[in-house]
Amino acid sequence: MDESVEGWHNTVAGGSVEGELEEIRRKKEVLLQEIQQLKDELAEVTLEMENLDFIYDEKNNPVSKHLSIGRKKFNMDPKKGIEYLIEHKLLDNDPEDIASFLFKGEGLNKTAIGDYLGERDDFNVDVLKAFVNLHEFSDTILVQALRQFLWSFRLPGESQKIDRMMQCFAERYFELNPGVFSHKDTCYILSFSIIMLNTSLHNPNVKDKQTVEQFISMNRGIDKGADLPQELLTGLYESIKKEPFKIPEDDGNDLMHTFFNPVKEGWLWKQGTSKLSGRYKSWKRRWFILSDSCLYYFLFTTDKEPKGIIPLENVRVREVPDRSKQNCFELYSDTNEVIKACKTDSEGKVVEGKHNVYRLSASTTEEKDEWIQCLTKKEKRK
């Protein structure tokens, strides 16, 4: 065969093979994307199944409902919250039982925990002691024990409350670590010094930062007149300088006020679209709260933060029929624009909504009518 003809055949064949490989790579990439989307949808379905189990348990078990209400009351007013839980026999009127509830902290605001523990009533002081005794400080250096302790609640601002808390902490640490300090007062004074050092080094409003020499000097003679080892104090200083105390964030007191007295709340089914193809509609059960001209929805009643928020500005409500669900109604934009909603995606990122209609379904006709009535009243107030 002529060399030029043979070369032409090879080029064509080579180009064909490369083209086929490129097409295979493209199809592979598409398949991988679809597989990932299927995994995401399977994860959502699994979550929905768990959600339905949770809903069933809550509906058939009033204890869950009262516990959820009790937590919300505690976050608004700690004393009333504890009283509610005792009244409904979810807590014993016993310092150790209450301390255990606060130590677990599930669904509780850490600022509210700190406020309750800092009260000077004899009963609250007993709860504080029981709470501190739940911490394990054995064979732990003082600064790490403080980090653990101060993460379990948010330290209140009042000096008397802080004093009571640090006294209890020092007694517990001294008891669990014999031989580290000669007296519990040494532990108490040094703990306060460490907290002051943390403020000095890491508060931007403090201009004159404390030096290691100043820290050593201010703690001279605190061990019953004797000095603590210089290497101990230097180690404490360097630890705080390198890593400040992590202070628990105030987890949404303003939101708790919003959600504590809602216009209406309850379970609704919310219609969504399949991520994979968009060809079919899916329905997901969500806990809805109507408050402050916004409709919030959550995965569970105990969640502190909403999964999504639908502002009701320029939004109206209407009853609609649906082939797959009964008792349906819609939120729709009266300007036919996208409703300015937002939600968190599977990675926890906040994303804007892309809908001009939100279709919802209630479990009964009465529930549907109540939701429409409440949402209509919100329309008229705007």
Active site residue 3: no
Selection from 53, 70, 226, 245 nearest residue 143 by Cα: 245
Nearest residue to 141 (alpha-carbon basis) of 194, 183, 217: 194
Residue in the structure block whose two tokens are 């130590």: 103
Short-list 80, 88, 86, CA closest to 101: 86
DSSP 155: P
> Which region holds residue 77: left if phi is over 0, alpha if psi is between -120 and 50, else beta?
beta
Q: Which of 250, 262, 245 is nearest to 202 (CA)?
A: 245
Candidate list 18, 23, 158, 243, residue with the active-site label: 158
Q: Which amino acid is at 121?
A: D
The answer to whether 315 and 341 are in contact (CB under 8 A) is: no
Quick one: residue 333, left, alpha or beta (phi over 0 = left, psi -120 to 50 = alpha)? beta
**Among 365, 291, 353, 355, CA closest to 327:** 365
Active site residues: 158
